[in-house]
Structure formats: C-alpha cells, structure tokens
C-alpha cells in the first residue's frame, strides 16, 4: 500500500502546456523572501509554482492557499485527488487496462461521450472522469489539453510504448499538499473575492502569442487581447491594494506596452544559463513585478 507522505517534494500530476517547472528557479528569486498572509494562484494548470511555494515559504501555507482554474475537469480532478486519492488510483488502474486493451481513442470517445460516428455514448462522469483525464493526459500527444469549438477534447494519441500513468506515492503526497476543498476553485481569474493586502498572487495566464502565427499555447485563442487587458487592470487593482503580485507572460510588444508602468524582467528557462552565448537563440519570457515585490 502507498504511504502518506508529508514532504513538499512533489511533481505535478499532469503534463500541462505552459507548465512552469523549468522557470521556477528564476521566479523563486522574487518570492523567496516574502511572508504573505496567504498565497493565491488564479491560473493553476499543473501547479508547478504552488508546490515550490510550499517548499520555499513553508508547508503551513497550504492551510490558507487558494488555487483556481477555469477548466472544470482539471479542478474536479484536484478535488478528487484531495478527497479520495485511493478510489482515484483504483479508477486510473482500471482505465489503464482499458487503454491497453482498446487503445487511446476508445477512452477519448468515452471522455467526450461521442463515438467516431458522432453518436452520443455514455460519458465518463465523477471520479472516473478525473481518472480518465489523467490517463488521457499521459497518453495523448505531448500532454496537450485542447478542445474544439463544441467543447470536445480533440488531441490525437501520443506515441508512447509503455507510458507511466500515475506515480502512486506522488499522488498521495499531492493529496496531502492541496489546499482545503473550498479553496480549490473553478472561477474566472478575477472572481476570487477574498484577496487582501499582504496576500501574494502569482498569475500564469495563457500567454499572448509572440506573433500572429504563433500558436504555442492551445488555449490562447479564447484568451485574446480583451482578456489580457482585463487581467492587467486586475493586476493593477491588486497592486494598488498592497497585494504582492507577480505575473508571467510572453515577451511580446503588446504585453510590454500594457504593463509599461511596472517593472518587467526578461527571464530564461534553465538556472545556469548566464552567458550571452548560451542565451542566444533562446526566447525570453516576461516576469512582471508589482510594487510591493520590487520594494521588499
Ligand atoms: C499557462 S497555464 C498555467 C500553467 C501552470 N502555471 C503550470 O505550471 O502548469 C494557464 C491556465 O489558465 C487557465 N485559464 C484560462 N483562462 C482562464 C480564465 N479566464 N480564468 C482562470 N483560468 C483560466 C487554463 O485552463 C490553464 O490551465
């Protein structure tokens, strides 16, 4: 039987587009000395930064932290990891067998509730749906999450011979580190009402494309210029109320323009990349810092 672990050394359970694992050491420099009242992450995704926050600022932050994402299936999965990791693992193992017997598209059709002839079929629901999200994420092309205009998941299968679906110990550990149920939320990023002076908010939104043809994030189309501006207004409002705010985005001219009143840093993935020669060819990202972060 898997043991319940209490350490903070945990890996994200999903591969997630825009995952921050590689950039965490660069971002950490700006929060490692903060002592926030609580931590809030409105665009949670795979949650790489949250796990580092607990490790860096202390595991006690899990008692007050708020994590949020607009993706209902993703949030339902975290709630099930929190409340019932054992049953979730049981479902993952069953679905892994179905994957091995019937293949990836069989699971994808049941996830969508639609067969290959577009007939309605019984859809995965509840905890089984969360398990299906994990199995599909681990077996689809590049761990992408993408839905078509009708909301159906449409990522093709990946080419893995023997994919590792779920690390049991890691899942129990994660279950223990997630915030309490009422603080695992599914709302728009600016609908979290209980953010106050002294709290720390890290925003990792869908990135604004670097150029018109760039489609490096699967969800950028539904998060266009208007949403980026709405986010900037919200960032500014929180900053003015004395909240510690940090935001990641692409290094596009549009982002530079709308955040021009803030300190904008260019950061590169990979800790030891210091020399100019090594940086050549690498595309930087922006890290935008609120006033209380700059003056800490
Ligand atoms: C760049 S990803 C976050 C990656 C995450 N930091 C990680 O390390 O995996 C952006 C996330 O924002 C979520 N999202 C998109 N639009 C949103 C909105 N309007 N409000 C809240 N979350 C949103 C997406 O579902 C996605 O999970």
Alpha helix stretches (DSSP H) within 121-224: 126-139, 168-177
Give the CA count within 13 Å in the CB-facing half-sphere of 260. Answer: 4
User: With b meaning 16 or more CB within 10 Å and e meaning fewer, what string describes 170-204?
Assistant: bbbbbbbbbbeeebbbbeebbebeebeeebbbbbb
Pocket of ligand 1 (CB under 6 A): 16, 18-20, 42-43, 45-49, 69-71, 188-189, 204-206, 219, 223
Q: Is the dihedral of CA 49, 51, 56, 58 positive or negative?
A: positive
Using the mean position of ligand 1's atoms as its centre, give its distance from the Cα of residue 242 in Å. 24
Give the H/E segment covering residue 279.
helix 276-279
Distance separating alpha carbons of residues 130 and 91, to the nearest angstrom: 9
Distance separating alpha carbons of residues 59 and 35, to the nearest angstrom: 13
pTM of the model: 0.91
- Which of ligand 1's atoms lies nearest the C-alpha of 49? 8
Using the mean position of ligand 1's atoms as its centre, give its distance from the Cα of residue 207 in Å. 9
Q: Look up the CATH superfamily of 21-70+187-294.
A: Vaccinia Virus protein VP39 (3.40.50.150)
Closest CA to 107 of 124, 120, 91: 124
**In the chain, which stretches have pLDDT less than 50?**
1-6, 216-220, 271-274, 277
Give the H/E segment covering residue 241.
none
Per-residue pLDDT of 222-233, as tens digits, reads 899 999 999 999
SS3 content of the chain, % helix, strand, coil (to 5): 45, 10, 45
Would you state the pLDDT for residue 281? 64
Per-residue pLDDT of 94-123, as tens digits, reads 999 999 999 999 999 999 999 999 999 999
Would you state the pLDDT for residue 22? 87
Rounded to 10°, the helix 85-102/72-83 angle is 120
CB 107 within 8 A of CB 39: no
Would you state the pLDDT for residue 212? 62
How many CB atoms are closer than 10 A to CB 243?
22
Q: Which of 11, 23, 31, 43 to mutate to test the pocket of ligand 1 (most atoms within 8 A of CB)?
A: 43
Q: Which of 11, 70, 234 to mutate to test the pocket of ligand 1 (most atoms within 8 A of CB)?
A: 70
77-167 fold: Adenine-specific Methyltransferase; domain 2 (1.10.1020)
Residues in contact with 288: Cβ distance below 8 Å, sequence separation at least 6, in sequence order: 235, 246, 247, 248, 249, 255, 259, 262, 263, 264, 265
- Which of ligand 1's atoms lies nearest the C-alpha of 20? 8
- Which of ligand 1's atoms lies nearest the C-alpha of 223? 16
How many CB atoms are closer than 10 A to CB 77?
23
- For the chain, the domains span 21-70+187-294, 77-167
Which residue puts its alpha carbon closest to atom 12 of ligand 1?
43
């Amino acid at each position: 039987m898997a043991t319940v672990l209490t350490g903070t050394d945990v890996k994200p359970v999903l591969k997630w587009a825009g995952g921050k694992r590689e950039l965490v050491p660069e971002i950490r420099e700006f929060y490692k000395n903060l002592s926030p009242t609580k931590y809030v992450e409105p665009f949670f995704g795979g949650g790489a930064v949250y796990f580092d926050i607990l490790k860096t600022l202390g595991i006690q932050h899990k008692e007050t932290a708020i994590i949020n994402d607009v993706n209902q299936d993703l949030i339902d999965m975290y709630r099930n990891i929190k409340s019932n990791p054992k049953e979730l693992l049981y479902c993952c193992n069953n679905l892994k067998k179905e994957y091995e017997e019937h293949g990836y598209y069989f699971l994808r059709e049941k996830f969508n509730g639609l067969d290959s002839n577009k007939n309605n079929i019984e859809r995965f629901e509840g905890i089984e749906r969360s398990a299906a999200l994990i199995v599909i994420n681990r077996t689809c092309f590049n761990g992408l999450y993408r839905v078509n205009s009708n909301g159906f998941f449409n990522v093709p299968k990946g080419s893995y011979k023997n994919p590792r679906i779920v690390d049991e110990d890691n899942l129990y550990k994660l279950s223990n580190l997630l915030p309490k149920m009422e603080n695992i939320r599914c709302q728009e990023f600016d609908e979290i009402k209980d953010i106050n002076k002294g709290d720390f908010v890290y925003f990792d939104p869908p990135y604004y494309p670097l150029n018109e043809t760039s489609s490096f994030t699967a969800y950028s189309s539904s998060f266009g210029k208007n949403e980026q501006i709405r986010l900037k207004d919200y960032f500014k409002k929180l900053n003015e109320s004395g909240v510690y705010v940090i935001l990641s985005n692409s290094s596009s001219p549009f982002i530079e323009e709308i955040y021009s009143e803030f300190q904008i840093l260019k950061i590169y993935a990979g800790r030891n990349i210091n020399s100019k020669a090594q940086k050549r060819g690498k595309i930087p990202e922006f890290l935008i810092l609120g006033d209380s972060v700059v003056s800490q």
